[in-house]
Amino acid sequence: MYAVIVGLSGVGQSLAKTLIKRGYDVAIIDKNHERCEKFSSEHDALVICGDAVEKDTLRDAGVEKADALVAATGDDSVNLMIVSMAKEFGAKNVVAVVRNPEHVELFKKVGVRVIVPDEVVAEHLYQHLYRVKDFLILGENQAEIFVVKVENGSGKPIEKIGIPNGSSILGVYRNGKLRVSPPADTTLQSGDELLVFTVKPKPDHIRKVVEAFAREI
């Protein structure tokens, strides 16, 4: 897998380091010489000090053969130009980091995926606050799958917990083993991790599911 990351911002650097650690081939573009030199001296990656809004720079980074390109500069207008050119080059998977939520629709019109850092941070804070993790949203918020640890529900069978209608337990992870589609009479233990599916979640739906199992805040 080959990825091009434009912008050694906090988000860009963190993503680049993660990909490198996981064995991806990474090319990085940034205009700041100091940042480029520092990153290049510490990590095994192609680092290009240049302006990514110039086609030659993107070409030097091999954007046309990239499996993914992420535009992560601190300027939405620059990111928009970069992803537009990347699409012209034929990049397969193009993602833009968007600082201002009001600009999201502009990026979607270009046909790229969008990440809004503030929303991502807020989602992670929510997960830590309610001790849930691994959210997967299906469709346009039609359903969600997430993991929650059992504390309140310890000692009770699943059928006695009383989770909201439209929710179900897909699996129970205990002592290193995953039990898929557990029977309703399965007795839960403190520390169990449950894979939960919920359909068309209402604003308080997830909270009710979490409160059925997790320690009260």
CATH code of the domain covering residue 8: 3.40.50.720
pLDDT of residue 39: 95
Q: Is the pLDDT of residue 215 over 90?
A: no
Find the domain containing 200 and state its range: 130-213
Domain boundary among 67, 89, 115: 115
Q: Which residues contact 156 (CB under 8 A, 6 or more apart)?
A: 187, 188
* Confidence bin at 70 (pLDDT 50/70/90): very high
Question: What pLDDT is stored for residue 150 in this prediction?
Answer: 86
Domain count, the chain: 2
Claim to verify: residue 18 and residue 109 sit in the same structural domain: yes
Could you write out the DSSP letters of every residue in 136-201?
EEETTTTEEEEEEE-STTTTSBGGGT-PPTTEEEEEEEETTEEEES--TTPBP-TT-EEEEEEES-
Whether 168 and 208 share a structural domain: yes
Q: What is the pLDDT of residue 216?
A: 47
The average confidence (pLDDT) of the chain is 86
- Residues 104-125: pLDDT tens digits? 999 999 889 898 887 777 666 6
In this prediction, residue 166 has a pLDDT band, given cuts at 50, 70 and 90, of confident
% residues pLDDT > 70 (the chain): 86
Quick one: average pLDDT of 195-213?
A: 74
Q: What integer pLDDT is reported at residue 217 of this predicted model?
A: 38
Query: Same domain, yes or no, for 11 and 61?
Result: yes
Residues 14-59 have pLDDT tens digits of 999 999 998 999 999 999 999 999 999 999 899 999 999 999 999 9
pLDDT of 149 reads: 84
Mean pLDDT of 98-103: 93
CB of 164 within 8 A of CB of 132? no
Q: Is residue 165 part of a domain?
A: yes
- Same domain? For 75 and 139 the reply is no
Q: For residue 31, is it within any domain?
A: yes
* Range in 2-6, 84-88, 119-123, 155-159 the model is least confident about: 119-123
Give kind and range of the element (H or E) at residue 129: helix 117-129
Do 17 and 100 sit in the same domain of this protein?
Answer: yes
List the structure tokens of 184. Answer: 């309703």
Q: Looking at the structure, tell me whether residues 6 and 38 fall in a common domain.
A: yes
Give domain status of residue 125, yes or no. Answer: no
